[in-house]
């Protein structure tokens, strides 16, 4: 098929010719843990919703270096969730779906419950 880009992964639904490039979550997929942590730190600080930027950015600055791959996966899943929903979960205004109710979410929630918090983003 001339003129079409090579398919790197499974095509997106709809068969419109776009390709899906898998995330760099494993060393075998082209990313190191250091690169992944840097990418997650950037994403945590720049989500687009200031309150959530501060919460996730502070969490990432404090905890990211100590997270194992499972923790990084949990953080990445939370970063993929919509800002308003995550903020509602953190404030306790909406129930946390089971897929997001993880040890990383518990640490984020504990960060929000601190007395006299400082936000260092």
- Domains, the chain, ordered by start: 30-112 (1.10.150.250)
Average pLDDT of the chain? Answer: 80
Q: Which residues contact 27 (CB under 8 A, 6 or more apart)?
A: 33
pLDDT of amino acid 100? 95
pLDDT, one tens digit per residue, over 53-68 is 999 999 999 999 999 9
Separation between Cα atoms, residue 49 and residue 63, nearest integer Å: 21
Q: Is 31 exposed, middle or buried (0-12, 13-18, 19+ CB in 10 A)?
A: middle
């Amino acid at each position: 098929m001339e003129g079409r880009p090579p398919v790197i992964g499974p095509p997106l639904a709809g068969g419109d010719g776009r390709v899906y490039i898998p995330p760099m979550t494993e060393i075998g997929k082209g990313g190191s843990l250091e690169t992944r942590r840097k990418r997650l730190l950037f994403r945590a600080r720049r989500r687009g919703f200031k309150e959530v930027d501060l919460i996730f950015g502070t969490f990432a600055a404090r905890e990211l270096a100590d997270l194992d791959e499972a923790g990084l996966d949990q953080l990445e899943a939370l970063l993929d969730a919509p800002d308003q929903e995550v903020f509602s979960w953190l404030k306790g205004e909406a129930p946390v779906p089971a897929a997001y109710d993880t040890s990383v979410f518990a640490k984020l929630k504990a960060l929000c419950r601190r007395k006299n918090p400082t936000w260092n983003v």
